[in-house]
Structure 1
Amino acid sequence: MITKIVPYHAHDHDKLVDIWHRAVVQTHSFLTEADIAFYYEMVRNGALQEVEIWVELNEDQEPVGFIGIDGSKIEMLFVDPNYHGRGVGRRLIKQVETLKGGNIRVDVNEQNTGACGFYERLGFVQIGRSELDSSGRPFPLLHLELKKSGNTDIGKRA
């Protein structure tokens, strides 16, 4: 499979919102339908314009995943469920590491055990915890960081 990672283009907005929605429905079983609708409105109405977005395209030039960053902090990472387990998330994080260097941080929902395991496999370590998410809702967040070291190479992990 030949893929490439490109900067966000507004013409992909609806496709990225769809990827977000399908990924959240599959991976965030702790959210109710009302919770998903609340966050969906945030994503659809501006969240993608508030951060730097990079998109992985498949061989047909269709988005299969995206990562949103603010500096060296990952604010969002979502992969089309049909592409889970194919290295999309790992490649997107590698893109951030290449662009930003240094220490990469991310907050991940504690109840999203799949995502917690994913980040752990890539070498992220917990540096803190919050009882509430960034919207003030009762979904605890783990604060993780990837410490840059001489032998760190995300491309060879997971």
Structure 2
Amino acid sequence: MEINNSVVRRAVAADAAAVADVWLRSFAAALPAVRRAHTDDQVRSWFREVVVPGQETWVATVDGSVVGMMVLDGEDLDQLYLDPDWQGQGIGGRLVRLAKQRRPAGLALWTFQVNVSARRFYERHGFIAAESTDGHRNEEREPDIRYVWCPGEQEP
């Protein structure tokens, strides 16, 4: 089910605080046992100074409030987070479809192995697990999985 009053658009500078807040709420809800590498203030600064102004950042809004965010970095779906209250309502799928439209040659992403709901979500949307690591390359030092999507393969 998709929300009728939702809008997906490019993020602007004024969205940075709301984007960071969605990221923080989502991370806390989905990954309570994962050690965060940065404080809340550092996360907010990163979104305000680096991500929103310098990367392809998209927001999903409902009635004008940011409820989801996505960052594309080259061929990587670098960030995709939804406010926990808005999960399961089609917004994440809408963001993934947009990512596929923006990167029709294919996408890759990383997610933590413990994030079973994210793994199921990406697999439902045609991503295939391509590599698992012990987390030595991420700041959290958490085992992760690289997923890839290639057009025409395993489309839902």
TM-score tier (shorter): 0.7 to 0.9
**Structure 2 gaps, min length 5:** none
Give, in whole Å, the separation in 2 of the partners of 1:31 and 1:23. Answer: 12
Shift of 1:93: 0.9
User: Relative to structure 1, is the Cα distance of residues 83 and 54 closer, same or farther in structure 2, using a 3 angstrom cutoff?
Assistant: same
| Letter aligned with residue 45 of structure 2 | N
Shift of 1:92: 0.5
Per the alignment, residue 90 of structure 2 pairs with 87
Tell me, what secondary structure is at the counterpart of 2:64? Answer: coil
Residues 11-26 of structure 1 mapped to structure 2, 5 A cutoff: 11-26=14-29
Counterpart check, 1:127 vs 2:133: no
Identity between Structure 1 and Structure 2 (%): 21
- Tell whether the 8 Å contact from 2:34 to 2:140 is kept in structure 1 after alignment: no
Shift of 1:136: 3.9
Give, in whole Å, the separation in 2 of the partners of 1:133 and 1:78. Answer: 23
Give, in whole Å, the separation in 1 of the partners of 2:44 and 2:115. Answer: 22
Per-residue deviation, residues 82-119 of structure 1 (Å, max 9, x unmatched)? 10100111110111111121111110011111111111
Give, in whole Å, the separation in 2 of the partners of 1:150 and 1:111. Answer: 25
Give, in whole Å, the separation in 2 of the partners of 1:42 and 1:15. Answer: 14
Per the alignment, residue 53 of structure 1 pairs with 57
Tell me, what secondary structure is at the counterpart of 2:100? Answer: helix
Per the alignment, residue 140 of structure 1 pairs with 143
* Deviating more after overlay: 84-93 vs 39-48: 39-48
Shift of 1:72: 2.1
User: Relative to structure 1, is the Cα distance of residues 132 and 9 closer, same or farther in structure 2, using a 3 angstrom cutoff?
Assistant: same
| Letter aligned with residue 109 of structure 2 | V
- Tell whether the 8 Å contact from 1:133 to 1:141 is kept in structure 2 after alignment: no
Q: Which runs of 4+ in 1 moved over 4 A?
A: none
Per the alignment, residue 97 of structure 1 pairs with 100
Shift of 1:134: 4.4
